[in-house]
Amino acid sequence: MSAVSRSSHLSQPSHVAFDEVSHQFEDIEQQREAYVVGMWAFLVTEIMFFGAVFLIYTVYRTLNHAAFYEAHKQLDIGLGTLNTFILLTSSLTMALAVHWAQVRNRRAQIMALTSTLGLAGAFIVVKAIEYSHKFAHHLFPGGNFVYPDASIADQARLFFSLYFGATGLHALHVVVGMLVIGAMLTRALRDRDARADYIPVEMTGLYWHFVDIVWIFLFPLLYLIPR
Chain residues 67-96 in contact with another protein, contact rule CB under 8 A? 77, 81, 84-85, 88-89, 91-92, 94-96
Q: How far is the CB of 55 from another protein (least distance, A)?
A: 6
Residue 105 is a binding residue for another protein (CB under 8 A): no
Cα–Cα dist 20/116, whole Å: 27
- Residues between 12 and 41 with contacts to another protein, criterion CB under 8 A: 17-20, 22-26, 28-38, 40-41
In this chain, which of 43, 110, 124, 194 binds another protein, going by CB under 8 A? 43
Work out the angle at residue 67's Cα, subtended by the Cα atoms of residues 156 and 154, and round it to the nearest 5 degrees: 35
Site membership for another protein, residue 158 (CB under 8 A): yes
**Site membership for another protein, residue 149 (CB under 8 A):** no
* Distance from C-alpha of 21 to C-alpha of 19, rounded to nearest angstrom: 7
146 touches another protein by CB under 8 A: no
Please identify, using beta-carbon distances, which residue of 57 and 130 lies nearer to another protein.
57
User: How far apart, in Å, do the first and last CA atoms of the chain sit?
Assistant: 73
Q: Which is nearer to another protein, 77 or 146 (CB)?
A: 77
Binding flag, residue 3, another protein (CB under 8 A):
yes
Exposure string of 13-41, with b = 16+ CB inside 10 Å and e = fewer, is eeeeeeeebeeebeeeeebbeebeeebee
d(CA 124, CA 118): 10
- Is position 126 an interface residue for another protein (rule: CB under 8 A)? no
As a whole number of angstroms, the distance between CA 153 and CA 141 comes to: 10
| Binding window for another protein (CB under 8 A); candidates: 4-12, 119-127, 129-137 | 4-12
Options 114-122, 123-131, 193-201: segment touching another protein (CB under 8 A): 193-201
The binder of another protein chosen from 13, 15, 49, 76 (CB under 8 A): 49
Q: Does residue 155 touch another protein according to CB under 8 A? A: yes
CA atoms within 13 A on the CB side of 47: 10
Cα R_g (the chain), whole angstroms: 22
